[in-house]
Amino acid sequence: MTRGARAPCTEDGCERTYAIDPRRKTTLCRQHASALFAQDPARNAKLSKAMTEKHADPQWKALRAPSCAAAGRKLAANEEFTARNREHMRRVGQKYGGSVKGSESRKLAGQKVTATTLAHIPLEYRADYRALMISGRVRKPERVRLINDLVKADQKRFESTGKLPQLEREKRRKS
Ligand SMILES: [Zn+2]
């Protein structure tokens, strides 16, 4: 095989080529191969974990801050991005505003995100926690403290009355 030989991308309608290399695992051009790898959940989980770990280091975070801010400004100036983001935030607003639209799989995905982000909040207190969150007046540590206080108060009440106040609240919400 001659050095520098190239082969056409096998993706339909793609006219790009890639350099032939026995180590290559695909017959796609660089762009199409990247798009394919970007869909791999295991790879994304690994990258996400690495990023979270890096951000836990204050020094690394401080070092990255200026370029993160610059990237934010660049995005804010990008009209296509802001339009897409506006549409996304509108959907988020609809979701938290009560009228949930979207396919079943989207709703399920939303529930999974909630289960992850609210993992520290017991199920029957999540509606209360979310209400605090939406109000925007209480920051996260305070929200968690308020909910923990509520859990303790409910427990006390249960010990003296045998009733679960959290279940009564849930029932009221549903009726
Ligand atoms: Zn291609």
Q: What is the pLDDT of residues 130-152, one digit of tens each?
A: 888 888 777 888 888 888 888 88
CB atoms within 10 A of CB 151: 16
Q: What spacing in Å lies between the alpha carbon of 80 and ligand 1's midpoint?
A: 24
Q: What spacing in Å lies between the alpha carbon of 100 and ligand 1's midpoint?
A: 38
The model's pLDDT over 25-51, given as tens digits with 9 standing for 90+, comes to 889 999 999 888 888 888 888 888 888
Return the domain boundaries, the chain.
1-39, 120-175
Under a CB-based contact definition with an 8 Å cutoff, are residues 17 and 8 in contact?
yes
Instruction: Give me the pLDDT at residue 27, please.
Output: 92
Under a CB-based contact definition with an 8 Å cutoff, are residues 166 and 124 in contact?
yes
Choose the weakest-confidence range: 59-63, 95-99, 162-166.
Answer: 95-99
The model's pLDDT over 89-120, given as tens digits with 9 standing for 90+, comes to 888 777 766 555 677 777 788 777 777 778 78
Q: What spacing in Å lies between the alpha carbon of 30 and ligand 1's midpoint?
A: 7
Q: What spacing in Å lies between the alpha carbon of 6 and ligand 1's midpoint?
A: 13
pTM over 0.75: no
